[in-house]
């Protein structure tokens, strides 16, 4: 039985801004027998607000260690490692047999009195991490002989269960073998024979569990599994260099990354199943699978090729590691029990039918990791769902995308697991209970991400993250990594990933490591907010590292309001705030709308400058300000040190797609041809600005999710992606009630109106115009200046009417980067009426790729309504 996936939402600190991206809820965690309020941070120090008593001790099976109050508190080094514990009462721990103490129940207590369970992560790192982090884990092969290693320092024993053939979920092992413990690292290992290669295995881990208060034996897969059975019941001793895992030509394949300047590579965000599920040019058995990408003449691959030729050449795949909530056998995947297409466009019945199979169908975003290092099985064809055959199909997909002109970015989710405790989807917590997850002061697991938060600040969880990223880079030769909820990682952990990638070379690893891209969600919230536990990998903290973070500032300015607004009609720069009010009370009166439009226009300007903290420009008020001085909900808007550190976007897989957001925000009677113009206008700041452009796959042709604001488990029906332009996905019924029911009164009339459903010609027009903007970006290096100093010298925003953005890229300032022209002017007019603008000095003409009819005078131009205009001189 798989768990349903539920996506919670959290604001950033002091913001009502950025939504999180899909992950599963878990059932209520098993409770500690009592709260674990004592925290053993290293061999010599324990933090504990103890009850008054004459003397204290740490009790463990067979003995005790003396505790002595330490009035000096945590030493500086420990206070830096554990800032949330600074100032708390501290005890010195007496000498004793540390290994014995850590391999059973541990309590801190007054001598002779009742105790409190002890959190052990700190002392485990102090005792074992130095040796443990130097070792390889999971399966490895030396001269064809396989070995296994598992880190389980608190375990009393670990045994290997070895199977013959492909085992059924409840199969008995052919052999059960004792593994050897290394006292220095706390790891357990075993070396087999060449005949073990390809065999399936599990571990038996006997360990004390704080959540049950008992020593228990868990049967568990390898957390470092590289290959698995269907539905991940068993791991495989797979040699991924063997022929069964290696497609022809693989050893010549090289991951080139996203180049020296990532901003030269636009990113389209794609779901493996969505991509081909409705593509008639893909054989039916390959639809929704890795193998769909190997059909170069399919509609989907031809479309990706067109995007790549226009500069949007990076394909960001939603999670493709082993996912907990998708049944992998096709016969186990349920489909909605009704004729969805026959139902009215505003019916609630579609979402009711979809809900009946949610969690047991073939669709999920996939933000619920089960095993980090093995590909998801539901995306493999049935003949390749077990073992290393998945690896072969995944590698062939990467090859096919590379051959198609596309780079491959994988979405990685290390900030939480699908489950903890003893449940069926728990892995790490069965092996070292209480270590891999971040515990709160009472010993409960933090769940601010939605689920069981991991703790990459702990040495071996951080080591897992680094090893896993390197594994994906070397094994699958992908070109980049997008980190889910990266702000829940320490900055040091992400930089360790960066250093490890930098060491990979094309000659040795098939990877140009220095060019592998890293970007992620730099949100600041939860128990780690404001660097409470470590310096986080948040937007502002990652400035100067080259690691990208999503620019929610520009997103909210373009769309209007926040992705968390209760009323989705709040208007923004490209959704009607400029002269096209929709009457929603939340938009305020005329003066309030004008003030907000000025603020949003400044955020758009700053976003087009790469959201640089130090970039200085003339704001709507007339004052010259730096990016860090522009306000974004009480925080500095500008945070990046280089354009590559800002990923510019207006929609992604989470929240409403751009078309759906504009459907709510533009006046209901807005004609479809004008909605097309506003869709292109909304995408233009990201596509024609500095920074790295990013878009949800399909927004370039009006993709809709029928107004669903959270389609993580909304099935195929609400997640359609149709590059044949037969169906945009709009008007497929009221979106699922749990996350959208409050907006049904607004959504119903919009869905019911046939004028709101895009026709194929509308989708084609939008696609053509979006590709035009991409080609314009590609036509000049002035759109990818790459360096903050160049941006400051060459980019300015001349005075313009309220709500209009003029971005002047002046190639006469500083070095000559574009010999073909002296400058470029990008003009964005969101008004429903023409706007006259004054032009910078020079002889301006429409860009060669411009398609709007323009009236240009020597010093002025008339911008058409709702237009994106590009001029050159």
Flag whether pLDDT at 67 surpasses 60.
yes
Q: Which of 159, 259, 241, 154 is nearest to 197 (CA)?
A: 241
Say what angle helices 744-752 and 658-665 make with each other, to 10 degrees.
100
- Cβ-based neighbour number of residue 4 at 10 Å: 14
Rg (CA), the chain: 28
Flag whether pLDDT at 6 surpasses 90.
no
Instruction: Please give the Cα distance from 870 to 773 (Å, whole number).
Output: 9
In this chain, the answer to whether the domains covering 38-128 and 135-326+369-538 adopt an identical fold is: no
Mean predicted confidence (pLDDT) in 824-835: 98
pLDDT digits (tens, 9 = 90+) for 250-279: 999 999 999 889 999 999 999 999 999 999
**Homologous superfamily of the 792-872 domain (CATH):** Golgi alpha-mannosidase II (2.60.40.1180)
Mean predicted confidence (pLDDT) in 748-765: 98
Q: Which residues contact 110 (CB under 8 A, 6 or more apart)?
A: 50, 51, 53, 54, 55, 56, 57
Residue 195, judged by CB atoms within 10 A of its CB (0-12, 13-18, 19+), counts as exposed
Mean predicted confidence (pLDDT) in 192-199: 98
pLDDT digits (tens, 9 = 90+) for 373-399: 999 999 999 999 999 999 999 999 999
Instruction: Please give the Cα distance from 417 to 191 (Å, whole number).
Output: 29
pLDDT digits (tens, 9 = 90+) for 436-445: 999 999 999 9
Active site residue 669: no
Report pLDDT for 5: 32
Flag whether pLDDT at 228 surpasses 70.
yes
**Homologous superfamily of the 135-326+369-538 domain (CATH):** Glycosidases (3.20.20.80)
Report pLDDT for 2: 28
Flag whether pLDDT at 851 surpasses 80.
no
Least confident range from 78-92, 163-177, 242-256, 841-855: namely 841-855
pLDDT digits (tens, 9 = 90+) for 477-534: 999 999 999 999 999 999 999 999 999 999 999 999 999 999 999 999 999 999 999 9
Percentage, residues of the chain above pLDDT 70: 96
3-state secondary structure of 424: coil
pLDDT averaged over every residue in the chain: 95
Flag whether pLDDT at 855 surpasses 80.
no
Instruction: Please give the Cα distance from 59 to 865 (Å, whole number).
Output: 76
Active site residue 182: no
- Choice among 204, 279, 521, 552 that is catalytic: 521
Q: Which of 752, 646, 763 is nearest to 704 (CA)?
A: 763
pLDDT digits (tens, 9 = 90+) for 11-32: 333 333 344 434 443 333 444 4
CATH architecture of 38-128: Sandwich (2.60)
Report pLDDT for 856: 84
Number of helical (H) and strand (E) elements in the chain, helices listed first: 20, 40
- DSSP string covering 12-58: PTT-S----------PPPPPPSS---EEEEETTEEE--PPS-S-EEE
Domain extents in the chain: 38-128, 135-326+369-538, 792-872
pLDDT digits (tens, 9 = 90+) for 648-697: 999 999 999 999 999 999 999 999 999 999 999 999 999 999 999 999 99
* Region at 518 (left for phi over 0; alpha for psi -120 to 50; beta for the rest): beta
Report pLDDT for 646: 98
Mean predicted confidence (pLDDT) in 766-785: 98
- Choice among 361, 429, 467, 484 that is catalytic: 484
DSSP state of 603: H
Report pLDDT for 642: 98
């Amino acid at each position: 039985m798989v768990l349903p996936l539920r996506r919670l939402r959290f604001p950033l600190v002091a913001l009502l801004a950025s939504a999180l991206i899909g992950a599963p809820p878990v059932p209520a965690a098993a409770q500690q027998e009592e709260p674990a309020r004592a925290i053993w941070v290293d061999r010599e120090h324990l933090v504990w607000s103890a009850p008054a008593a004459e003397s204290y001790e740490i009790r463990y099976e067979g003995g005790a260690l003396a505790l002595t109050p330490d009035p000096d508190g945590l030493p500086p080094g420990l206070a830096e490692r554990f800032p949330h514990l600074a100032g708390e009462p501290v005890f010195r721990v007496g000498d004793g047999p540390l290994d014995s103490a850590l391999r059973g129940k541990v309590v801190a207590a007054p001598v002779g009195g009742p105790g409190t369970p002890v959190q052990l992560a700190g002392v485990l790192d102090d005792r074992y991490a130095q040796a443990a982090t130097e070792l390889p884990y999971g399966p490895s092969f030396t001269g064809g002989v396989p070995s296994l290693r598992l880190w389980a320092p608190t375990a009393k024993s670990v045994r290997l269960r070895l199977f013959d053939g492909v085992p059924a979920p409840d199969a008995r092992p052919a052999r059960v073998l004792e593994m050897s413990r290394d006292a220095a690292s706390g790891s357990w290992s075993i070396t087999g024979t060449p005949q073990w290669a390809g065999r399936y295995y599990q571990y038996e881990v006997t360990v004390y569990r704080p959540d049950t208060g008992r020593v228990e034996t868990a049967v568990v897969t390898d957390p470092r599994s590289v290959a698995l059975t269907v539905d991940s019941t068993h791991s495989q001793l797979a040699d991924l260099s063997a022929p069964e895992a290696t497609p022809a030509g693989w050893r010549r394949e090289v991951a080139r990354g996203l180049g020296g300047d990532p901003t030269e590579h636009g990113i389209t965000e794609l779901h493996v199943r969505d991509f081909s599920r409705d593509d008639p040019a893909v054989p039916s058995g390959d639809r929704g699978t890795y193998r769909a990408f190997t059909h170069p003449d399919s509609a989907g691959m031809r479309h990706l090729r067109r995007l790549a030729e226009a500069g949007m050449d990076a394909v960001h795949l939603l999670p493709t590691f082993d996912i907990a909530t998708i049944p992998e056998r096709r016969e186990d995947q349920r489909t909605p029990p009704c004729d969805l297409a026959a139902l009215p466009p505003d019916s609630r019945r579609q979402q009711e039918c979809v809900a009946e199979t949610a969690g047991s169908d073939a669709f999920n975003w996939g933000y619920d990791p089960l095993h980090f290092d093995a590909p998801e099985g539901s995306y493999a064809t049935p003949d390749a769902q077990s073992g290393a055959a998945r690896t072969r199909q995944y590698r062939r997909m990467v090859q096919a995308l590379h051959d198609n002109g596309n780079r491959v970015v994988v979405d990685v989710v290390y900030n939480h697991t699908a489950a903890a405790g003893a449940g069926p989807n728990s892995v790490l917590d069965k092996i070292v209970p209480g270590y891999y997850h971040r515990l709160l002061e009472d010993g409960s697991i933090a769940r601010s991400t939605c689920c069981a938060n991991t703790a990459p600040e702990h040495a071996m969880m951080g080591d897992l993250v680094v090893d896993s990223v390197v594994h994906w880079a070397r094994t699958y030769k992908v070109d980049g990594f997008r980190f889910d909820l990266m702000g829940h990682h320490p900055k040091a952990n992400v930089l360790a990933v960066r250093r490890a990638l930098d060491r990979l070379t094309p000659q040795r690893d098939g990877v140009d490591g220095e060019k592998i891209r890293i970007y992620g969600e730099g949100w600041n919230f939860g128990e780690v907010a404001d660097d409470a536990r470590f310096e986080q990998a948040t937007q502002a903290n990652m400035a100067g590292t080259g690691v990208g973070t999503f620019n929610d500032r520009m997103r909210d300015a373009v769309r209007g309001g926040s992705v968390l607004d209760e009323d989705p009609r709040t208007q923004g720069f490209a959704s009607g705030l400029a002269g096209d009010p929709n009457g929603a009370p939340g938009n305020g009166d005329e003066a309030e709308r004008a003030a907000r439009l000025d603020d949003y226009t400044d955020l758009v300007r700053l976003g087009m400058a790469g959201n640089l903290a130090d970039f200085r420009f003339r704001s709507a008020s007339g004052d010259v300000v730096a990016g860090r001085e522009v306000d974004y909900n009480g925080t500095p808007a500008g945070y990046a040190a280089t354009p590559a550190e800002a990923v510019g976007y207006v929609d992604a897989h989470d929240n409403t797609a751009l078309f759906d957001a504009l459907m709510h925000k533009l006046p209901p009677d807005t004609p479809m041809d004008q909605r097309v113009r506003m869709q292109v206008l909304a995408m233009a700041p990201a596509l024609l600005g500095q920074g790295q452009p990013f878009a949800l796959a399909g927004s370039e042709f009006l993709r809709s999710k029928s107004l669903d604001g959270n389609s993580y488990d909304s099935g195929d029906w609400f997640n359609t992606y149709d590059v044949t332009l037969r169906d945009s996905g709009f008007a497929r019924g009221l979106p699922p009630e749990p996350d959208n029911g409050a907006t049904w009164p607004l959504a119903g009339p919009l869905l019911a109106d046939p004028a709101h459903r895009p026709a194929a010609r509308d989708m084609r027009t939008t696609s053509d115009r979006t590709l035009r903007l991409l080609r314009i970006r590609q036509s000049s290096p002035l759109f990818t200046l790459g360096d903050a100093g160049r941006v400051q010298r060459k980019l300015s925003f001349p005075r313009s009417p309220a709500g209009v953005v003029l971005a002047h890229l002046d190639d006469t300032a500083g070095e000559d980067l574009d010999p073909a022209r002296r400058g470029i002017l990008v003009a964005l007019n969101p008004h429903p009426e023409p706007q006259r603008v004054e032009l910078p000095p020079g002889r301006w003409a429409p860009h060669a790729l411009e398609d709007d009819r323009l009236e240009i005078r020597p010093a002025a131009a008339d911008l058409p309504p709702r237009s994106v205009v590009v001029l050159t001189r």
